[in-house]
Amino acid sequence: MEPVLEVDRMPIEIDPAAFKTVLGRFASGVTVITAIDEGEPVGFACQSFASLSIEPPLVSFFPARTSSSWPRIRRAGRFTVNILADHQDQVCRQLGRPGADKFAGVDWTPSVNGSPLLTGALATIDCELHEEVDGGDHTVVIARVTGLNEHSEATPLLFYRAGFGRLAHQ
């Protein structure tokens, strides 16, 4: 193995608008993270979700530090990742907005861990909080998977260039 060379690096200024534009070229799936806090459903839309490890089974996601929902989900300690189907863009918009009653009119049933399982989701992943790490203006959440289920063969809802997209079948 070759040694890693350290290179003097000058601080680089990155324009925030350019950063968002360039990274917006990366398509991602869309999830909603849900839990029950003090007897009420709580959740937020999240496109920054990824599989992290098979052994142990871990996933990760990155809520904004400004999120009012994440502290409530953290307090619950267990939650469900709902992977959205392409017809659920309105559910995503509703659960992605700030406000009190995000779940008004949203169909859900309790998952095995008691968190909201959104009707129509492609799949759900039940989790417990494992670790949090500083991620700048976001928090890096690492969660241990405690259960998972597939619910539909529909196509996924995608997020691309600040909007929703769908897979084009060839």
Give the pLDDT confidence score for residue 16 in this predicted structure: 85
| Phi/psi of residue 20, nearest 5 degrees | -65, -40
pLDDT tens for residues 107-153? 999 999 999 999 999 999 999 999 999 999 999 999 999 999 999 99
pLDDT in tens, the chain (170 residues): 666 656 566 678 888 888 888 877 778 899 999 999 999 999 999 999 999 999 999 999 999 999 999 999 999 999 999 999 999 999 999 999 887 789 999 999 999 999 999 999 999 999 999 999 999 999 999 999 999 999 999 999 998 888 887 777 64
The 8 Å CB, 24+ separation contacts for 43-49 are 43/69, 43/73, 43/95, 43/102, 43/103, 43/116, 44/69, 44/70, 44/73, 44/95, 44/96, 45/92, 45/93, 45/95, 45/96, 47/159, 48/138, 49/81
Rounded distance, CA 131 to CA 136, Å?
A: 16
Give the pLDDT confidence score for residue 11 in this predicted structure: 72
Give the pLDDT confidence score for residue 6 in this predicted structure: 61
Give the pLDDT confidence score for residue 21 in this predicted structure: 85
Q: What is the pTM of this model?
A: 0.88
b/e sequence 74-98, b meaning 16+ C-beta within 10 Å: bebebbbbbbbbbebbebbebbbee
Q: Which two tokens stand for residue 86?
A: 């392409």
Q: Which two tokens stand for residue 85?
A: 């189907």
CB atoms within 10 A of CB 169: 5
Using alpha carbons, select from 31, 48, 46 the residue that is nearest to residue 83: 31
Q: Which two tokens stand for residue 22?
A: 């360039």
Question: Which amino acid makes up residue 107?
Answer: D
Rounded distance, CA 106 to CA 120, Å?
A: 10
Give the pLDDT confidence score for residue 169 in this predicted structure: 64
